[in-house]
């Protein structure tokens, strides 16, 4: 799934960093890489991506969550107003959400 997401965004002209499948691997990127935006799966190999979201928020990097969870209570209160794309989703839904949040794709 992560590869399909990366290909979809790359096909829209995005410079994709990743996919990254573990919170520990994503944190250094979230803390220091130059990023225009991020797409975060809420559950990365059984670990919630919240530390990554916190790092991005501290740097004011826009991000959206992808999730199969129906209840947004899985997210801390401060992130419950974040953009969420629910699985399953179409490539068009992802591109639209990314375009709105990141200002553009392509």
Collapsed DSSP state (helix, strand, coil) of residue 28: helix
What pLDDT score does 104 carry?
61
Enumerate the domain spans of the chain: 2-102
Q: How confident is the model at residue 72 (pLDDT cuts 50, 70, 90)?
A: confident
**Domain with residues 2-102, CATH architecture:** 3-Layer(aba) Sandwich (3.40)
Residue of 66, 38, 68 lying closest to 53 (CA atoms):
38
The rounded percent of the chain whose pLDDT value lies above 70 is: 97
Cβ contacts of residue 59 below 8 Å, gap of 6+?
30, 31, 35
**pTM as predicted:** 0.91
Say yes or no to pLDDT of 106 above 60: no
Give the distance from CA 41 to its chain's centroid.
6
Does an H or E element contain 97, and which?
helix 91-102
- Mean pLDDT of all residues in the chain? 92
């Amino acid at each position: 799934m992560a590869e399909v997401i990366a290909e979809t965004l790359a096909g829209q002209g995005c410079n994709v960093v990743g996919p990254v499948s573990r919170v520990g691997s994503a944190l250094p990127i979230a803390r220091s890489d130059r990023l225009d935006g991020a797409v975060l799966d809420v559950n990365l190999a059984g670990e919630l991506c919240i530390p990554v979201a916190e790092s991005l928020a501290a740097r004011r990097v826009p991000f959206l969550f992808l999730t199969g969870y129906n209840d947004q209570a899985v997210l801390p209160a401060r992130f419950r107003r974040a953009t969420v794309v629910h699985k399953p989703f179409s490539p068009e839904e992802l591109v639209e959400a990314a375009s709105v949040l990141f200002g553009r794709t392509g």
